[in-house]
Structure 1
């Protein structure tokens, strides 16, 4: 039936621009979605558009362009790249081009002395095997960039440049350690001041080496920060300046693996996402990650990926996210449920990944088990269907992705090591996500600049090593009327690991020590916080901080031990949990705080008999004066849901994906995605 056909816009992809945190072409929002293609990219281009894709990616590196130490340039390779870009333009495919510096020419090492070669390739950075600080490596990177970038940078099909593939880095070369000592002198001034901060007794800066393990917290945190600052400013900042000689507007992004953001390994290996965004990127926030099937309790492993997108959107709200290596599976493609692909692509876009290149389009060796989309037609069909639906409904996708709330989670880069932050931040994020609140992060640097002023509620999920400047910013914000919820170990130390005495006054307690809970400790939800959507009982797990309330009021306790206290601070309030909760219990506490603060979403998700339908991600937003909602069932079971408005239940709506009317209550199968225009509620 022609009247049932759904039209997908096909704007000119050579004219994509960035505004309001999204991509636009021809004055309308667009979602970019396609695939990485290596040797088969040029041949694949006409077919990519047929499958519903409008985006693509391929790569070159120094060993493709530089033929030898005499400086000869491989002109035939550059012409081949230009021909591929020409073909992309004819196919109406925008191209994100990966500058693969890690394809480093081995002849360079063979033609220099063994000692220099050892230094040159002394890095410990995954793909980056060379020492980025060595002048010899800078020389060859400059030569290949100067030969290649001017030739391609103004091509109409070129959408953006990716500055490196999955970068991580640390070096222990003599030159790098010397730079670390110079950095310490500039940071601390005198060795006595450093010793007071670290709790050490060095006689001079020359005695200090790299900190490979966190044996001395101040030493380790400073070493990691030095490495992160160098990687961001001296390497990626240098690459950005080099490219800017030829074009100051081309978007630049970095393919940083999302797991680095909430993992001690990322801290060790040079990743501070805020620094990389500030020094290296332009117009776009880049990443690389995976949403894969799960055996439970949810249908997908989604936390790391979606948290990464939310972090990037929080660091740079005006930049869309491009996931230039979007993974969907590992292993046998016929063990992968195809519907996972459709839901995962939708979730990514709704969290701000408005550009995605799927790994991978190819039949190379190992591709069968390594994620190629070409071995299971049902998977490719679902990806194509998602691409067409996302492109058709791009204006709604962008509206959801740009949602901003008044709730933030503190992001503390130094707390990725030595405290419960990495675990608890995941649970708190999950709680807010299922409460229909767009989870946003606020970084310590943003707090120092007054970034908390746009928020009403701040959650600190065990971030222990927080700078004094950020701590003072939090206290000032609470005194001005902010509401703070914190869990054990939050704010307990400064950046160098020194105990912070002032935190006891903020929470209104005296800290007496910590004990491990041998079994979960149940306690009732405090009456002032109780809401009918939940079961009214919380369950503490893991550790328990023993406290003596001074100015705080005990809201909940068990076996004579305070478990939740509240302390009035100026016009604001601090709520402090002395034990850790599961995500659904964090959600119960947060839901009550949202309600009392007027921060709940304008509509409310509910299930049968008023109980909350855990595991359904949802948001509501107004577009053109009308309410719209999306629902994604991430649980492994069918969920029946209602939406409650100010005047009662939402009665019906229009499913914009299927273009069919729906009535509430609505049943959602596992991984089912709905985007609804809500038509009525109440009488």
Structure 2
């Protein structure tokens, strides 16, 4: 992540989406007063303002935005200025219905909500580029501008005829010829062979299961088509403001956007994270997404959106208990965030999100939520000089890949219960509960800097990725790999022997006889633990059975295999067993917890020179900490054990003199 600019060094950006067009102008000055009281130093403007700026085709109404930009500058509040292209105005769909997306049944997705655009539509792209051009020309030199925020949560899908034409162009570039496409998609099956490019359409509603290769390529294409929209707007604003960083907010673990590829096109990587307050592992989910975003950014990142209280889109929308908002906000800072922002500043009184919380809720200035926001603002002011720009070091990498995830979602697979994201979360949880710092990486990334690489589950692996993993182990690294990994190549073609031969040799596995997925209430007994979700009938060659299945059809077959520094786990061990296994392997390669002996629910993270202690447990705890420390949030020396209330946080800086 690049520095936002010199004026923000030493400050954690704090604020959120500000949508003042929903309110009369007399409210704006009150908003500024309360922002300053809360320590807000950054707001995002214009995310959903297209209809206000361009009320009819070609018209421009910038007067209100001029006044807001000036107001923010006078208040010392920086602006992340958004291109409002996520939600075209109703006039676009009415006058240009070809810009509206169609679903896989061919039905039009109408205006009346948001994000009703086809990413392949030339008309949509022309209007978006024209508006972005005028926005950048007008505000590129404004002193309040800190960053460009392109669009918002790119998440549209479309199966229309324009998308079909775009898809065919994309396929030509990827495969070169129809014959090569037929080979990649395996169209000999079910008489699906194509003779001409014009015969190819997106994977629309079909009589039965769709071609997995076609679906996989369409997912790749959709991510790339949206990326084209982003880069087109990015290039416009950079032409006007070459020194101003650009971002677009990812949605966490959203299947439609290859965030590894997207991050390479951004100056600043940002994400929206909404853990469920009722989830007892909400803190682990927040930590995992922080680790993932930090890894995509290769350094500090931006928490662009979170909720100050309840959201409005779950079946039951629970508020955050006192302290939880602060805990999760500071946890994000501990894991590399240089910005803590919310959707949104002032809770809406009308519209679809009027029950989605804001930093300033319907309860107003005296409400508990706003009082907690003020405390978080003060915390971030104290932390800023110590954390901004600093890094979180990790000796462990967790491998994650969108191509594999997309292929893993195919129809006709061995088990519909196998949820890729839940498997990744289970493995990350095992590391998190052991206070083992982890980064994320793509399987073809440079891995030599990590002592331990874990692969929860990667069904699809290309040749370069497999060679990378084999080379990592041969170079002295330790690899722990989960079940059903390395099964298919880039085109979702099953590898010889049910697992790539290079991986079978690496793990000392001779034959994969059968995969044995497990039902919801089913588990398998293994030496010392129980396995869930999955099991496999393996025959070893040179590998050692560290644990075997006991009883049932797989009795005596290996469950956990080791061949030197390569481990293979053919089931999903229950949480305690997986935690113990990974902790033991990590200890064996010299990767130790951030702090030893912490009670359950207490997280320790080092960022730069600071040690963050975060209590996710239900009760207060006292933690003995060796050495001489200063507590940054209270600006006091540490004298005795560190007391953490429920949802409490302490940030320690070691005093060496």
TM-score over 0.5 for the alignment?
A: yes
| Equivalent in 605, 614, 633 of residue 615 of structure 2 | 633
> How far did residue 326 of structure 1 move?
4.8
Matched position secondary structure for 1:101: coil
- 8 Å Cα contact 2:311-2:318 kept in structure 1: no
> What CA deviation, in whole Å up to 9, does each residue of 1:396-426 have, x standing for no partner?
4447x61121210111102323354311111
1:327 deviation in Å? 5.3
Equivalent in the alignment of 1:489 = 484
Q: Deviations over 1:568-608 (max 9, x none)?
A: 3xxxx21011110234332211211111111224x53204x
Show the counterpart of 1:144: 131
Q: Displacement of 1:386 after TM fit?
A: 1.4
Q: Which residue in the other structure is 2:539 paired with?
A: 548
- Structure 1 residues 226, 363: closer, same or farther in 2, change over 3 A? closer
How many residues in Structure 1 have an aligned counterpart in Structure 2?
A: 601
- Equivalent residues in 2 for 1:143-542, closer than 5 Å: 143-201=130-188, 202-204=193-195, 205-212=197-204, 215-232=210-227, 234-260=228-254, 266-267=255-256, 271-279=257-265, 281-282=266-267, 284-294=268-278, 297-298=280-281, 301-318=282-299, 320-324=301-305, 326=307, 328-330=309-311, 335-366=319-350, 369-372=355-358, 373-376=360-363, 377-398=367-388, 402-416=391-405, 417-418=408-409, 420-444=419-443, 446-447=444-445, 451-500=446-495, 501-502=500-501, 503-509=503-509, 510-517=511-518, 519-523=522-526, 537-542=528-533
Return closer, same or farther for 1:370/1:604 CA change in 2, 3 Å cut-off.
closer
CA separation of 1:420/1:384 partners in 2, compared to 1, >3 Å: closer, same or farther? Answer: same
Q: Distance in 2 between matches of 1:642 and 1:584?
A: 25
Instruction: After TM superposition, give the deviation of residue 243 of structure 1 in Å.
Output: 1.7
Q: Normalising to structure 1: TM-score of the pair? A: 0.81
Q: Does 1:66 align with 2:87?
A: no
Cα distance in 2 for residues equivalent to 1:109 and 1:378: 42
Cα distance, 1:72 vs structure 2: 3.7
Normalized per residue, the structure richer in strand is 1
Gaps of 5+ in 1: 1-17, 112-116, 261-265, 525-536, 608-612, 644-649
Matching of residue 586 in structure 1 with residue 578 in structure 2: yes
Give the match's secondary structure for 1:42.
Answer: helix
CA 1:338–1:429 in structure 2 vs 1: closer, same or farther (change >3 Å)? Answer: same
CA distance in 2, matches of 1:604, 1:357: 29
Does the CA contact (< 8 Å) of 2:10 and 2:386 recur in 1? no
Cα 1:336–1:278 change in 2 (3 A) is closer
The Cα shift of 1:110 comes to 4.1
Q: 2:560 aligns with which of 559, 564, 571?
A: 564
1:282-324 Cα shifts (integer Å, max 9, x gaps): 2x11222213412x534xx244443333222212214532414
What's the Cα RMSD here?
2.8
Deviation at 1:635, TM superposition (A): 2.6
- C-alpha distance in 1, partners of 2:194/2:7? 64
Q: Counterparts of 2:486 and 2:153 in 1: how far apart (Å)?
A: 31
Whether 2:18 is the aligned partner of 1:37: answer: yes
CA distance in 1, matches of 2:608, 2:126: 53
Deviation at 1:670, TM superposition (A): 2.9
Name the SS for the 1:48 alignment partner. helix
Cα deviation, residue 662, structure 1:
4.3
2:109 is the counterpart of 1:118: no
Conserved? CA contact 2:303–2:332, under 8 Å: no
CA displacement at 1:479 relative to structure 2: 1.4
CA distance in 1, matches of 2:623, 2:491: 48
Contact 1:30-1:391 within 8 A present in 2 as well: yes
Q: Note if contact 2:270-2:304 (Cα within 8 Å) is conserved in structure 1.
A: yes
The alpha carbon displacement at 1:157 in A equals 1.0
Give the equivalent residue in structure 1 for 2:413.
none
Consecutive unaligned residues in structure 2, runs of 5 or more: 104-108, 410-417, 551-555
Cα distance change, pair 193–102 in 1 and its aligned pair in 2 (3 A): closer
1:673 corresponds to which residue?
649
* Pair 1:463–1:250, CA change in 2 (3 A): same
Q: For the residues of structure 1 that align with 2:73 and 2:317, how far apart are their CA atoms?
A: 31
Q: Measure the CA separation in 2 of the matches of 1:134 and 1:591.
A: 51
Task: Quote how far apart the aligned CAs of 1:207 are.
Answer: 2.9
Partner of 2:597: 606
Report the CA distance between 1:226 and its aligned residue. Answer: 1.3
Give the one of 104, 118, 131 matched to 1:131: 118
Corresponding residue for residue 81 of structure 2: 97
- SS of the residue 2:118 aligns to: coil
- Does the 8 Å contact 1:297/1:635 carry over to 2? no
- Deviation of 1:487 after TM superposition, in Å, equals 1.0
Instruction: Give yes or no for contact 1:374–1:380 (8 Å, CA) kept in 2.
Output: yes
